[in-house]
Structure 1
Amino acid sequence: MPVAEESHGINNVVDNICGLPPDLLTETCQHILTYLQGQRSGVDPAEISQILQRAGVRLDHEALEEIIRFLMVTFRSGGKSNLSADDLVTKLEESSNKWSKASLQVLHRLWSEHGAVVHAQQEARAMLSIGQLVDMEWKLGMSVSSDSCRSLNSPYVTLRLKIVEPSGQICQRSFEMSVPQFQNFHKQFKEIAAVMETL
């Protein structure tokens, strides 16, 4: 994307952010900050949209999602970099000359209150950044020909795992194992499930 288009896009988002009354900007930011602090499972644009509509603010769905995405990236990168409230506001002012003083004051105040907790949560997430298993498939097969293996006609199990990586992308991993290895794997999985039920 050319720099002119990118800055035009940022200026549009900033215009929409600055068009929100300070109390509604505060409430929108608090939804995002509570998520980034690990106190919410996600940020629901529909919930924020209802709050804005009740206050008489009309924003189309795409504009609201752009606001949420922009604020999420701003707060997340501010947390990762451990920025002070002054530094966060300076970076915002450098990104666009469209910021209103009232909006920057809201963001400065909220980051002063919540920035340290967001930073701590970002550090914890970085240390615990492991994928989440979302699906597992297996199938039984029989090897019938091979250049390197002498013992053919032996059964094997192919496992395919779907994993959501910390970035949010879903990836697939496949591997094969012998039937005894698969039986051992199954036994260990049952033991893990039993332990997790006691938690």
Structure 2
Amino acid sequence: MSEKMPAAEEPYGVNKIVDNIGGLSLDLLAETCQHILTYLQGQTKGLDCAEISDRFQRNGVRLDHEALQNIIRFLLLTFRSAGKSKLSGDELVLQLEESCGKWPKASLQVVHRLWTEQGAQVHAQQEVQSMLSIGQLIDLQWKLGMAVSSDTCRSLNSPYVCLLLKIAEPSGQIQQRSFEMTIPQFQNFHKQLKEMAAVLETV
């Protein structure tokens, strides 16, 4: 296997991160890995790093914010790369050992167990995301206004509807998109939404 783990930057950085992971209780490591794997399987809309950091603090982990973020990023990149490469549990552990010889055996056993159980689902979700490559609508807001200047309204002082969409991108980042519609365009949009809702009720 020629591909290296993406988080294997300069050796000291990886060694330090692995040292910090080794200092976690096995239960906390398993909980953190599960949180990340749940996100990578598409069961949550995003990875809440603040929530994971809070769990670390509540469990008495004495690390600064950057060190905690490095652990989360390292595990996220590790599992994401393993999913793309379709690694088995044994292959993943071997790559981790090759990237850093300081891994505690018990920590590797936690990673091996969770990846063996859930790695296939992570890979399947990545395949779906690569085919779709679209975001998920989280929120939609609208407001009514009067056009002062517009490319689509023929006359000024025409009413228009401004839509603001909040979308969770496949990367996990949340983006905002906004656009304007004339009243006839919005009425047509509303009609199409009602038609979609009616079809969905029959599914």
Q: CA deviation at 1:17?
A: 0.9
Q: How does 1:47-62 map to 2 (within 5 A)?
A: 47=55, 49-50=57-58, 52-53=59-60, 58-60=61-63, 62=65
Equivalent residues in 2 for 1:79-98, closer than 5 Å: 79-98=83-102
- TM-score normalised by the chain length of structure 2: 0.68
Q: 1:142 aligns with which of 135, 138, 147?
A: 147
1:135 maps to amino acid: L
Aligned residues of 1:160 and 1:172 also touching (Cα < 8 A):
no
The residue that corresponds to 1:127 in the other structure is 131
Shift of 1:61: 6.0
Sequence identity (%): 58
Partner residue, 2:160: 157
For 1:80, give the aligned amino acid: K
Aligned to 1:36: 40
* Superposition RMSD in Å: 3.7
Q: Which has the higher contact order (CA 8 A, sep 6+)?
A: 2
**Cα offset, 1:142, TM superposition:** 3.2
Please show how residues 157-196 of structure 1 align to structure 2 within 5 Å.
157=160, 159-162=162-165, 163-192=167-196
Q: Which moved more, 1:136-145 or 1:7-16?
A: 136-145
- Is residue 18 of structure 2 the alignment partner of residue 14 of structure 1? yes
Q: Select the residue among 113, 136, 156 that pairs with 2:117.
A: 113
User: In the TM superposition, what is the alpha-carbon distance from 1:82 to its structure 2 partner?
Assistant: 0.9
TM-score, normalised with respect to structure 1: 0.69
- Separation (CA, whole Å) in 1 of partners of 2:153 and 2:176: 30
2:5 corresponding residue in structure 1: none
Deviation of 1:22 after TM superposition, in Å, equals 3.9
What CA distance in whole angstroms lies between the structure 2 residues aligned with 1:150 and 1:33? 48
Which is higher, the Rg of structure 1 or of structure 2? 1
Unaligned runs of 5+ in 1: none
Structure 2 residue identity aligned to 1:170:
I
Superposition deviation, residue 77 in structure 1:
2.0
Partner of 1:25: 29
Q: Distance in 2 between matches of 1:23 and 1:177?
A: 52
**How many equivalent residue pairs?**
189
Within the alignment, does 1:101 sit opposite 2:105 as a pair? Answer: yes
CA positional deviation for 1:88 = 1.4
CA shift, 1:12, in A, is 1.8
* Deviation readout 1:133-170 (Å, 9 max, x if unpaired): 32333443335688xx9953472525343333222333
Tell me which amino acid in the other structure corresponds to 1:140.
Answer: G
Q: 1:178: Cα distance to partner? A: 3.0
Q: For residues 86 and 178 of structure 2, what CA distance do their matches in structure 1 show?
A: 38
Q: Are the equivalent residues in 1 in contact too, given 2:147–2:153 (CA < 8 A)?
A: no
Question: Contact conserved, 1:164 with 1:171, CA < 8 A, in 2?
Answer: yes
Measure the CA separation in 2 of the matches of 1:65 and 1:138.
38
C-alpha distance in 1 between matches for 2:44 and 2:175: 25
Matching residue of 2:4: none
The unaligned stretches of length 5 or more in structure 2 are: 1-7
Contact 1:158 1:174 in 2 (8 A): no
